[in-house]
Structure 1
Amino acid sequence: MTRRAMIRGVGHCLPERIVPNSYFEGLLDTSDEWIRTRSGIERRHFAAEGQTTSDLAAEAARAALADAGLRPDDIDAIVVATSTPDLTFPSCATMVQAQLGMTRGFAYDIQAVCAGFIFALTNANGLILSGQAERVLVIGAETFSRIMDWTDRATCVLFGDGAGALVLEAAEGTGTVADRGILASDLNSDGRYKDILYVDGGVSGTQTTGHLRMQGKEVFRHAVEKLAQTAQTSLGKLGLTGADIDWIVPHQANLRIIKGTAKKLDVPMERVIVTVQDHGNTSAASIPLALSVGKAEGKITPGDLIVAEAIGGGLAWGSAIIRW
């Protein structure tokens, strides 16, 4: 028998405030058509004043626990992927732990920007495979609205706030691709590309929060190639191809990137979960958010083979193959 990390539950949280593209027409030289054409985004959610990343993460965690039929103290560890924590320290994950009333186990954050959830999922998988944990809450949560430059129309219209969570649980499998759970993953980074996507502030460098800066054309150029490559690498570890995929659940950054990646994998858009139109780019939250929505809409069902892939600042990118 082979030990696997199986998905037991999923959930998400979106702030109540919905911000349509038309909101930006009064602030910037832009339009609903301009934003839709370049990104596919129609609306996004912004956190309320005083609502933090850990608040969103905790609510998504509660939804995932309810879906799994578990209590907080059934969980051994919490791993939160975020680039927008409440404080420099302690970790957002420990704040979630406190909000859930979880009095055992351990909690910590992972930061790989938009690729953060894939890195966190792979890390949590390792905790389970090593026997360090039996059940792990894996959360992606962001409040990117707090690091936007509202005078930069190329970036501030693209991002939104939200959180998504999965409960991973140890299970026994046969060691074949028919097993449920995380079957393979691939992680990458290349720090030479830091300057094409970064935040121009930080504790050590400027002692400020800073704003997001992005060279959109350069990011796009890297994204399609690297996302397709990492997905193919993960599939190759299992002897699979795009034809074996039931669903691609991509990082929801830009509809053109999503379509370009699907084309390279030879997967029709009918088999791609797309939420970017409703949520914008929620960074590390986008994949678990899309998984939760995909399940809620009845698209993702038990036994489906899923490819999740993401790229973010660093550059950092990766993928995971999951049997639902």
Structure 2
Amino acid sequence: MTKHCYIHGFGSFAPAKVLTNHDLEKFVDTNDEWIRTRTGIEERHVVEEGQCTSDLVTEAAKVALADAGIGAEALTHILVATCTPDAYCPNTACVVEDKLGIKGAMALDMNAACSGFVYGLQVACGLTAVSEDTTILLSGGETLTTRLNWEDRNTCVLFGDAAGAVVISAKQTPGSAKVVDIELSSDGSLRDLLTIAGGGSSVPYKLNQPVPAEHFVMMQGREVFKHAVRSMAGICETLLTRNGMTASDVDLLIPHQANIRIIEAVGKKLEIESEKVFVNLNKFGNTSAASIPLALADAKRQGLLKPGMRVLLTTFGGGFTWGSALLEF
């Protein structure tokens, strides 16, 4: 990257309702031991009826704005990464803008599934390169539990609801994190391995038609696992090499929180010690586009993001999409 952008505030929000593995045992053919050993997940947060993605993003945004020390009126752009928007139209970013009590910002949704936040990071940096006076709210928010087939035990145990947000500008300030570099990729030929197809133009609805299985998350888990590990590790290596670095120069790896076995496999491929790999998957499950910003905010709350640290982000999602970003605190 020839020009850098900076992150000034971190925020996250998860619904109050918690669904544990033991809760799932009551209505899904599964058990706590099976879920924990195969996924690393112990519990996940679930929206209440009437609670939507914009609600979660708005709350995360308020925390990020407070952490950055600015008001919502300072925002010039609102970017929301999500594959579970409030509606097809209007976009969720416009709803968030209204809930923050402001008008006039550029408001845009982006969908790269679980990779949405890291994809959005490059969009935000591009916007700051065009105009140095921009102040951007970049968020990732999902209500994936509303798109789960609770009869499919292979997918319904994996996902949770949450949002994360950051404030980005072209100006460096004390305590800000520099976005050093970003690398993104995709492979649309693998799109059918992870989908929520129902309702789109390829699987349209008719009035009063029963809701089909395609409306919910459908995933070929073994294939996704294989591609996720290879792609996340590979793109990290590409990014590090371009910046004259190796994995030994990384102080903290924050991977997409999808599955503990994926996280461990990526860390092993990169030869990064487990104590340098951030994990909060056990408390939130896979929150898709919210995963990385939620983890960043969580890591900051835990005092893990210290000045001088190099933090490597990596993600993988439906599409397939994947990416990596290097931050310097």
Q: Tell me the CA shift for residue 172 of structure 1.
A: 5.5
1:66 and 1:303 map into 2 onto residues whose CA distance is 23
Is the Cα–Cα contact under 8 Å of residues 132 and 169 in structure 2 kept in the other structure? Answer: no
Tell me what 2:280 maps to. 275
**Deviation by residue 1:73-119 (Cα, 9 ceiling, x = unmatched):** 11110111000000101111111111111223211011000111110
Superposed displacement of residue 190, structure 1: 0.5
> Is the alpha carbon distance of 1:180 and 1:52 closer, same or farther for their aligned partners in structure 2, counting shifts above 3 Å?
closer
Cα contact 1:311–1:318 (8 A) shared by 2: yes
Matches within 5 A, 1:213-224: 213-224=218-229
> How far apart are the structure 1 equivalents of 2:237 and 2:107?
32
Give the residue type in structure 2 aligned to 1:71: G
Name which of structure 1's ranges 294-303 and 251-260 shifts more when overlaid on structure 2.
294-303
Q: What does 1:172-251 correspond to in 2, within 5 Å?
A: 180-208=177-205, 210-251=215-256
Decide whether the 8 Å contact of 1:184 with 1:237 is kept in 2.
no
Following superposition, the deviation at residue 134 of structure 1 comes to 2.2
Task: Please give the secondary structure, in 2, of the residue aligned with 1:89.
Answer: coil
CA contact (8 A) 1:180 1:303 kept: no
Gaps of 5+ in 2: 206-210
My pick for the range that moved more, 232-241 or 199-208, is 199-208
Residue 88 of structure 1 aligns with an amino acid whose one-letter code is Y
Q: Give the unaligned 5+ runs of structure 1.
A: 174-178
Distance 1:236 1:135 in 2: 30
Q: Percent identity between the aligned chains? A: 44
159-168 or 300-309, which deviates more: 300-309
Deviates more, 1:102-111 or 1:130-139: 130-139
Aligned residues: 318
Q: Would the alpha carbon gap of residues 172 and 15 (structure 1) be closer, same or farther in structure 2, given more than 3 Å must change?
A: closer
AA aligned opposite 1:11: G
The separation in 2 between residues aligned to 1:180 and 1:291, in whole angstroms, is 11
Is the Cα–Cα contact under 8 Å of residues 132 and 170 in structure 2 kept in the other structure? no
Q: CA deviation at 1:224?
A: 0.7
Are 2:270 and 1:265 aligned?
Answer: yes
Aligned counterparts of 1:143 and 1:113: Cα–Cα separation in 2: 12
Amino acid at match of 1:145: T
Q: CA RMSD in A?
A: 1.5
Q: CA offsets per residue over residues 134-176 of structure 1, 9 Å max, x none?
A: 2111100000001000000000000000000011121259xxx
Partner amino acid, structure 2, of 1:259 = E
CA drift of 1:130 comes to 2.1
Aligned-partner residue type, residue 212 of structure 1: V
- State the alpha-carbon separation in 2 of the partners of residues 223 and 301 from structure 1: 29
Does structure 2 retain, via aligned residues, the 8 Å contact 1:12–1:63?
yes
CA distance in 1, matches of 2:23, 2:116: 29
1:26 deviates by 1.4
Contact 2:132 / 2:171 at 8 angstroms: preserved in 1?
no
Q: How far off its partner does 1:232 sit?
A: 1.1
Residue equivalent to 1:57: 57
SS of equivalent residue, structure 2 residue 170: strand
Within the candidate set 308, 320, 323, 1:315 is matched to 320
Which range is displaced more, 295-304 or 276-285?
Answer: 295-304
Mapping for residues 38-49 of structure 1, pairs under 5 Å: 38-49=38-49
**TM-score, normalization: structure 1?**
0.95
Matches within 5 A, 1:1-324: 3-131=3-131, 133-171=133-171, 180-208=177-205, 210-324=215-329
